[in-house]
Chain A
Amino acid sequence: MSGFKSTDRYIASRDLEVAVNAAVALQRPLLVKGEPGTGKTVLAHEIANSLGHPLIEWHVKSTTKAQQGLYEYDAVSRLRDGQLGDERVKDIGNYIVRGKLWEAFESGEQTVVLIDEVDKADIEFPNDLLLELDRMQFFVYETRQTIKAKHRPIVLITSNNEKELPDAFLRRCFFHYIRFPDRETMEQIVQAHYPDIKQDLAREALTVFFKIRDVPGLKKKPATSELLDWLKLLMIEDLSPEVLRSKEQHVVIPPLHGALLKNEQDVHLFERLAFLSRRG
């Protein structure tokens, strides 16, 4: 079968391809977890691109309710209109605001729905969407109509692991954990994003990058997105690879480290290590 494959801009490992294709084939949601900055959200864009479907994004916040993805009944404006004697008030349908899932269900073609950072919401959020994601339909109480998906959308759900997801919800999903890419994959990813980068610069930068990730005790390890930002900076500044080359095992603070280390404690830790290695 054809399905989803790595593109020249997004390098997907084989296990990710299998997981996506399984989710597409069986029309079940795919739950993706992984370190921040390993391309969970970008994945949805790439699936939509490679399958040629429109993408509908639903970004979840701590205040998001499951109902908001279906529809909302704006009672307050109806009440206000009622008191002002507006004609619109006679039809309750005027006050039903459609949510992202409704949009996806009503769409004339198959869509890709991204439910981003599902763990940010209340612990009951996934449970409230069980039936809707299973049957791809829901009932609007106010207007007594059932909204049914014309084409079952491909649903991608990302999570940063802030909350445990309920078992009943998990049972209905495929699951994939994006592992941090190894050096080889990382080289491909860098190639995909900056095809005209100087080879020796990329090599030195990757060495420095993986060395930083190996430093014990970092609060936030830099991930793929940080590496790409940093490389862009290095390219703009047109630094020569020699600057990055450290004297063997010694730890040196890399130039433009602001793109990699996002935390002043981490920078301090690094300065201390650099100081120690100079002395030692």
Chain B
Amino acid sequence: MFASFVLALRSAGLPASITEYLTLMGAMKAGVADYSIDDFYYLCRATLVKDERHLDRFDRVFGEVFKGLEPPEGMPIQNLPEEWLKALAEKFLSKEEMDKIEKLGGLEALMKRLQELLEEQKGRHQGGSKWIGTAGTSPFGNNGANPEGVRIGQQEGRNRRAIKVWDKREFKDLDDTVEIGTRNIKLALRRLRKFARQGTPTELDIPETIRTTANNAGYLDLKMVPERHNTVKVLLFLDIGGSMDEHVRVCEELFSAARGEFKHLEYFYFHNCIYERVWKTNRRRNDNMTPTEEVMRKYGPDYKAIFVGDASMSPYEVSHPGGSVEHWNDEPGSVWMERLTKHFRRSAWLNPRPRNAWDHAMTIGMLRKVMENRMYPLTLGGIDEMAKELNK
């Protein structure tokens, strides 16, 4: 009966399975959602969603599939570009202004007009009284003040009219491609853990105790072993300055999370692309360079190398000798990258730019090729993917 719904969920990337579907059927049979759409929505959510990161996607699919169920006052959210809807400003209208807003002639007309505007309009818009966007007096968009308005992507219903829960999409910022925080990064980095026993013996070693006790004619002879610790070794290369400035916050978070998570963490900075030298302090970089050769000599192949950078520069900086914007380099950056990836067999590149923007810069493609496709977006999902790859 609801099989198409489950299939729609699956194609939206939610891991719903037969088991969950049967559970839902069972719960319906047991009368948990007695003829109430809201209860049915809650029940579906409790049964089919197992991770709060998926709640937003679930709401979208639910709204789409059960369009007919909701009262006609709401309307399914169109695919509006995210940035339009960021509520950047609040605009408080005076009483006269409120009066001035003419009713445009019922809901039907509003919807039609919205469709037309969507066709017509091609950019983000804020303020004003016609286009769709934020804080305006047009009937479309959010945080606005048209009394007959259609809310699109507003944080919370300002006057609680005509809002269906699944259209509110309250769990929006929990999608794992969006939010990133130190603690979350730490959890994602934990996947890289590798345990080994080192240090003072504090745990009972049962096999050894049994063996020695047997040797001891049955009298107890306790043996201890050290506790297990994380021994993974990580080498971070961070791109700094230039186009990376806008990603500073997320890089700082990644860096501090990595510092907290790994005991064996070393880091170096570079600019745009790696050449024959890297550095550890940005302020005194000119007299404090470390030759890249030395890095490779000092840190063995057991280190996992992670490069963090947007990989966006002029193609010459990667492919040609002397292409560096800062100094004369005898060998092109790609040669150095190849050397590093050959030495550090487990390596990956984290890119703070979103994956769909990767085609825009030619050098991203070039470096991806050097990395043999091991480039991941700097999001929780990306870090997770990277950790899986590095642990292979």
Contact A173 to B38, CB < 8 A, known contacts A22-B43, A80-B220: no
Asked if B4 is an interface residue, CB under 8 A from chain A, the answer is: no
Task: Decide if B50 touches A31 in the complex (CB within 8 Å).
Answer: yes
A-B contact count, CB below 8 Å? 77
Task: Decide if B20 touches A22 in the complex (CB within 8 Å).
Answer: no
Task: Decide if B17 touches A21 in the complex (CB within 8 Å).
Answer: no
Q: How far, in whole Å, are A15 and B52 apart by their CA atoms in the complex?
A: 14
* Nearest A residue to B165, CB-CB: A15
Task: Decide if A14 touches B27 in the complex (CB within 8 Å).
Answer: no
Task: Decide if B47 touches A22 in the complex (CB within 8 Å).
Answer: yes
Interface centre among B23, B31, B46, B50 (most CB of A within 10 A): B46
Task: Decide if A14 touches B30 in the complex (CB within 8 Å).
Answer: no
A interface footprint on B32-51 (CB within 8 Å = 1, 0 otherwise): 11100011001101110111
Residues from chain B with a CB closer than 8 A to the CB of A239 are: none
Q: Within the complex, which residue of A1, A26, A80, A176 is in contact with B23, where a contact is CB–CB below 8 Å?
A: A26
Contact A14 to B42, CB < 8 A, known contacts A22-B47, A26-B26: yes
B31 to chain A, nearest CB (A): 6
Asked if A172 is an interface residue, CB under 8 A from chain B, the answer is: yes
Residues from chain A with a CB closer than 8 A to the CB of B52 are: 33, 161, 177
- Total interface residues in chain B, CB < 8 Å: 32
Contact A170 to B51, CB < 8 A, known contacts A22-B27, A26-B26, A79-B220: yes
Asked if B148 is an interface residue, CB under 8 A from chain A, the answer is: no
Task: Decide if A14 touches B47 in the complex (CB within 8 Å).
Answer: no
Asked if B171 is an interface residue, CB under 8 A from chain A, the answer is: yes
Q: Within the complex, which residue of B15, B47, B187 is in contact with A174, where a contact is CB–CB below 8 Å?
A: B47
A184 to chain B, nearest CB (A): 10
A25 to chain B, nearest CB (A): 4
Bin the interface of chain A by size: 20 to 34
Asked if A163 is an interface residue, CB under 8 A from chain B, the answer is: yes
Asked if A196 is an interface residue, CB under 8 A from chain B, the answer is: no
Task: Decide if A25 touches B32 in the complex (CB within 8 Å).
Answer: yes
Residues from chain A with a CB closer than 8 A to the CB of B19 are: 171-172
Asked if A242 is an interface residue, CB under 8 A from chain B, the answer is: no
A84 to chain B, nearest CB (A): 11
Task: Decide if A22 touches B32 in the complex (CB within 8 Å).
Answer: yes
Asked if B170 is an interface residue, CB under 8 A from chain A, the answer is: yes
B202 to chain A, nearest CB (A): 12
Contact A1 to B45, CB < 8 A, known contacts A167-B15, A177-B55: no
Residues from chain B with a CB closer than 8 A to the CB of A28 are: 23
Asked if B218 is an interface residue, CB under 8 A from chain A, the answer is: yes
| A interface residues, Cβ below 8 angstroms from B | 1, 14-15, 18-19, 21-23, 25-26, 28, 30-31, 33, 79-80, 83, 161-163, 165, 167, 170-177, 179, 182
Given contacts A25-B31, A174-B23, 11 further A-B contacts (CB under 8 A): A1-B30, A1-B32, A22-B47, A25-B27, A25-B32, A31-B50, A79-B220, A83-B218, A83-B220, A175-B45, A177-B171
| B interface residues, Cβ below 8 angstroms from A | 15, 17, 19-20, 23, 26-27, 30-34, 38-39, 42-43, 45-47, 49-52, 55, 156, 170-171, 187, 190, 218-220
Going nearest first, the 3 A-B pairs with the smallest beta carbon separation are A170-B50, A19-B46, A15-B42
